[in-house]
Structures are given as structure tokens and as C-alpha cells.
Chain A
Amino acid sequence: MINENGNSTVRDAVHLVLELHLGVDKVETRQRLSEDLEVDSFDLMNIIVVLEQDFDIRISETAAASVRTVGELVSLVESLRLS
């Protein structure tokens, strides 16, 4: 999920995926996915699929299950992008 110039950061892109999927105007790094954003297991699976497709990465079940906050999800995608 990259903007038209193709130069947005991973952070912006992950935030955008979350915002578009969850129907919220803005997510914050510190927000917790389930408690603050009401992400249920289906939402999480959807978000993972979109991130995998858009970033061409594979997110393992274990890694996905360990993510608690928006910031952690960004870090996870960043680390997989580099590897």
C-alpha cells in the first residue's frame, strides 16, 4: 500500500492499511490492536493478508500472534522487508 509517488514509509503504509480496514481516520503507534482498536481475530487475519500481498512478505502465525500494538506491527513489517 504505497502512495502515488511510491515513496511513503513503511510506517505510513501500515498505518494506512489499518485505517482503511478498520474504518478509522487515524491510528497511533501506541494504540493496542485488540483493546484500543477492537481488532478481532478476523480483522487481524485480513490485515495480515493485505500486508503480505502489498509488501510481498510472509508473516508467520507466531509472529502475527505476538503483535500487540500498531508500532509492533510496523516493526514486524519493517524487519520482514529487510530480511
Chain B
Amino acid sequence: MTPAGNNSSPATLVQLLAWRAMVSGDRTAYSYCDDPRTFGELWSDVEEFASALVEQGLRPGGRVVLALPNGHDFFTAFYGAQRAGAVAVPIFPGVPPGRVLEVAKLCGANHVVVPSDTQAETLTRWRRAAGSLHISTILDRPGSAVSLPVVQAEDVAFIQYTSGSTGDPKGVQLSHANLMTNVRQMIAGMEITAEDRFVSWLPAYHDMGLILMTIVPFFLAAPLFLLPTSLSDTRPWLDAITRHRGTFTASPDFGYRLCLRQVAGSDRAANAHDLSSLRVALNAAEPVRSSTIDSFHETFGLDRVMVAGYGLAEATVGVSMGKPATVNRIDARGAVSVGRPFPDITVQILDDTDRVLPPDVIGHIVVESPANTRGYFQNPSATDTLLASPGAIRTGDIGYLDGEGHLYILSRAKDVMIHAGRTVYPQEVEEIVNAINGVRYSTAIGIDDGRLEGEQITVLVEIRPDAMPDETSRKSCVVAIARAVHDRFGFRPARVHLVAPKTIPLTHNGKLRRGELKQQYLEGRLDGAILYPIRAERPAVPR
């Protein structure tokens, strides 16, 4: 691959945008809340912002943390950092400043970009807390002409943190080549064309929402209608599909379940949305429920539109998807197939000793792809664990391939929790909780009781009872935990239980045995150990 690429085959995201600005500068790149922006406008803003960053001292390979929600700022900053030869580090924008600065420290960034509508006093406070870090907004303009570097295909374009734990951070490094490769794999595998019309509310700062739902349409100059990420109301999403005749949308299973819940029991609500233009409603990033697919089709009068997909940040994003316009394959266990791997991707199922297993035998899923990450940023031991062999990554997920090469996912990496489509490592939650006064240590477990709302995060916290002798102090502790988790992640634990010392089982070398604890909790065996809140009635046992 030549670093320069050519017009029809850009080798980097920067080339892609430059090329789009050149050949289709007047075309709308995307509309955010019905406010359109052309490729020409985007590119000129990107060049200006890149120059401003370079003038502020950003060097090629430097990291730029983006604490930005969906919107124009995000794209200017994401591509601006890359245009400057730097590495964008998009993070969930709802976290408090302290956490943003923590991530900046984690990845050695000297620059953080915050929303341009941040109030002046807030910016001042940010800058005071940030010390030598540059707190920028896309309104920053260069004072003079700056020369920008040539960006190479093997340069890292961005780092996606899948775990922001300070003890074991997992920042997936993705090169421009990785991204362009996966974009082409997904276009071929999902049969996407420039005629497709994308509608997305997914976070642009996170892999599926970013790569599949924005970079793919940019690559094809396919129309993209982007919405704010909102969990409180799914109607704007359905409205946008209806109004713009959307053909391609994507969401984790919970998003579709929320839609169904919000139009439930009302024919009028369902009829208000005409989703007949949809070609693909991708269901991925979370276990796919066949009941969701059936209800979605039935409620909106659709057929063969929702397809299950599979992917992970370490493979850039997309690995496989069911074939569009076909009936989903469902096995005897009720698992929905996530289809065959995309072109250039090989999926193998290995046993515990890394031997390849035959079809229909369950084992560890390993993905070999040119879009695979080179590894986690500054975490060689986690990278070693990730790589099964050069170019092949251990997904940590368990599943099998059927005789025709269709992949089925049966369970995922041990311990990992999925909340609202987001992967959360229990260690990240525990780190936050353990920092709270009076906490000995804690365990976070994901409980899926089969309800609509999916997996909910429950935190069990060992306390020193003498440090918290009464209800008031115990309540304060739970309140502090709920608040701290919300500040960090933007969601709250479903339940927090304070438990007696020595309730949480440890291995002989002091590691938490989360699986065992979860089992005990589900079977109600921990009820006696729960110090707060005390329940009068035995609750129904969640499954």
C-alpha cells in the first residue's frame, strides 16, 4: 500500500476527507439535528483547527483527548487532531473534568478539546485544574500559517479506551490502515452502497457509532442524519428514519427494546412511524435477542430488516453480520447467528490449548484480520494476552461456527458487563467504589434477569461495620457510591449492597472470584450478609 494512496482509494482518514472535499466539496457530509455541513466546510474547519493545535505545540503522534458529544465540534476536532498527525482519543463526554484529566494523563495527552459552547468561567476552571495541559475548543484559530505533516497509513489515527481502569488501561490503538480496511470490509460484507441513507443516534465518540455510522457514509458520500445520543426518548430516531427515508441504522439490542417499549400498546404510536424504507437495522454490541427482532418486525410491519452483527474494538469494529434481507438463523439454544465474517476476516474457534476446533464445537473465538489493532497503548502485558498469534486476537468471547461458516456467540469475555450497549469492566467500577471512605473492597457484577432493560450492574461492597455503625452513615455511603459511579460512567448501578467483611470470596492470592459471588447472590445465599439496605421481604430471585 502506498502511503499516498490514490484518489479513489484513500489510505488515511485525512486523505479520505481531503478527497471528499475536492471531488464533492458541495455535498452534505452529514446533517446533525437537520443542520447540514458540506465536505468542503468540514475540511476547511479541520485544516484550521489542526493548525491551531500545531501552533499550541501538538506534535505528530501526540494525543488529543476529545470530550465532545455528537455534533459539529466532534468531527472538526477528531479529524483536526489527525490532520495534525496526532492521535485522537475520544471519550464519553458526560464525565466530570477530573476524569477527563485522568484519561489525558493515562494516554500522555497534552491537549484536551471541550465543547465550544462551554461557558467562559467553566473554561477558566478547566484550565486552572489542567495545569500545563492545553484546553482547546474548535473555535481556536491559528495566528499564522502553519505547515501540517503528511499522515501515513500506519500512523495511529485514534485510541479507543475499552477499559479506563488506571491499573490496567486498555486503549485500543487503531491505525489509519486499520480503519480504512475495516470500512471496506463492512461495506462489502453489509452490501452498503452510496444509495444507502444512514440514520444514527449512536455516540460518534465510540466505535460502532463512529466507524460504521459516520466513517462509512463519509467514505461513500452517502447521506447521514445524525442525532444526539439520547436514552430517554427513542422517537426522534424513529422520526428521522421516517422523514429521511433512512435505509441503514444500527443499535445495540437495548435501543430497539426501548423503541418497542415506548410505542408499546399503541397502534397509533407505531403507525406514526413509517420504517418501510429500512434495508438494514443492525443489532450489535450486545447479546441479540430473537424476541427483539420478532417484535420489531411485527410492531413496525417489517420483514428481514433487523440483522445481528458482531464486532469488537480490537478488530477496529465490524467482524461479521447476518446477510441483509435474509431470515436470521437461530440455533436450538435460541442464539441468533451473527453471520459470516466479512471479507479478509477469518474466525477460528480454539480449545483451551489453542487447537482449532471443527464446526459446531463451542470454544474461544479468535479473529484474524488486517483491521486488527497492533495492541493496547502502553500496556504490553494486556497486548500479549490479546494476541493469539501475530495478527490474530483473542476476543474473549465463546461461540461456534456452524457447518456453513455462520458464527454464533454464546457468551462473552468472563466478568465483562454490558450496560446499554457499552462494555464495562467490573474493575473500572470497583476502582471508583473502593476509593470511597469506609469501603474495604467491592465487586461489580452484571445481572441479566431476562427483563426488557437487560443487564444491570449490581455492586456489592464490603464495609467495616464499626466505621459505619448506623443507618445514616450506611446510607451516606451508598449515596456516595451511586453518585461516584454516575459521575464516572454516566449511569447508575441498579443496586448497591453493603455487605459484611469476608463476604466477597477471594482466591488464595487475593483475586476476587466474581463468578462465584454472582452465583451466591443470584441464589439468595448472600442475603444474610447484606448489612444495608435491609429488606423485610425476600425479593424474587433474579435469574
Which residues of A approach B to under 8 Å, CB–CB?
A: 1-4, 6, 16, 19-25, 34, 40-43, 45-46, 49-50, 52-56, 61-62
Interface hit among B71-79, B210-218, B347-355, B473-481? B473-481
Q: What 16 additional pairs, Cβ within 8 angstroms, besides A24-B479, A50-B494?
A: A1-B535, A2-B535, A2-B536, A16-B475, A19-B475, A19-B479, A20-B478, A21-B492, A22-B492, A23-B480, A23-B481, A23-B486, A42-B453, A53-B540, A54-B537, A61-B261
Residue in chain B with minimal CB distance to A47? B494
> Distance in Å from the Cβ of A19 to the closest Cβ of chain B?
6
CA distance A45 to B449 in the complex (A): 13
Residue in chain A with minimal CB distance to B542? A53
Once the chains bind, are A40 and B231 in contact (CB under 8 Å)? yes
Once the chains bind, are B453 and A49 in contact (CB under 8 Å)? yes
Residue in chain B with minimal CB distance to A7? B536
In the bound complex, residues from chain A placing their C-beta under 8 Å from that of B264 are 61
Knowing A1-B535, A3-B534 are in contact, say whether A20-B491 is a contact too (CB < 8 A): no
Once the chains bind, are A20 and B475 in contact (CB under 8 Å)? yes
In the bound complex, residues from chain B placing their C-beta under 8 Å from that of A49 are 449, 451, 453, 456, 494
Interface residues of B in 206-255 (CB under 8 A from A): 231-233
Once the chains bind, are B231 and A42 in contact (CB under 8 Å)? yes
In the bound complex, residues from chain B placing their C-beta under 8 Å from that of A19 are 475, 479
Once the chains bind, are A41 and B535 in contact (CB under 8 Å)? no
Closest 4 CB pairs of A and B: A23-B482, A23-B483, A53-B539, A2-B536
CA distance A54 to B276 in the complex (A): 43
Once the chains bind, are A20 and B231 in contact (CB under 8 Å)? no
**CB of B452 within 8 Å of the partner chain:** yes
Once the chains bind, are B258 and A1 in contact (CB under 8 Å)? no
How many chain B residues sit at the interface, stated as a range, is 35 or more
CA distance A46 to B449 in the complex (A): 12
In the bound complex, residues from chain B placing their C-beta under 8 Å from that of A45 are 451-453
Once the chains bind, are A20 and B496 in contact (CB under 8 Å)? yes
15 A-B residue contacts at CB 8 Å? A2-B537, A3-B534, A4-B534, A20-B478, A21-B482, A21-B495, A22-B482, A23-B483, A23-B486, A45-B452, A46-B495, A49-B451, A50-B495, A55-B537, A56-B539
Once the chains bind, are B536 and A46 in contact (CB under 8 Å)? no
Once the chains bind, are A62 and B265 in contact (CB under 8 Å)? yes
**CB of B42 within 8 Å of the partner chain:** no
Once the chains bind, are B478 and A4 in contact (CB under 8 Å)? no
**CB of B68 within 8 Å of the partner chain:** no
Residue interface mask B489-505, A partner, CB < 8 A = 1: 00110111000000000
In the bound complex, residues from chain B placing their C-beta under 8 Å from that of A43 are 492
**CB of B104 within 8 Å of the partner chain:** no
**CB of B334 within 8 Å of the partner chain:** no
**CB of B102 within 8 Å of the partner chain:** no
Knowing A40-B232, A45-B452 are in contact, say whether A23-B479 is a contact too (CB < 8 A): yes
In the bound complex, residues from chain A placing their C-beta under 8 Å from that of B168 are none
CA distance A34 to B233 in the complex (A): 12
CA distance A22 to B483 in the complex (A): 7
Residue in chain A with minimal CB distance to B486? A23
CA distance A20 to B461 in the complex (A): 14
Knowing A43-B492, A49-B453 are in contact, say whether A1-B533 is a contact too (CB < 8 A): yes
In the bound complex, residues from chain B placing their C-beta under 8 Å from that of A54 are 535, 537, 539
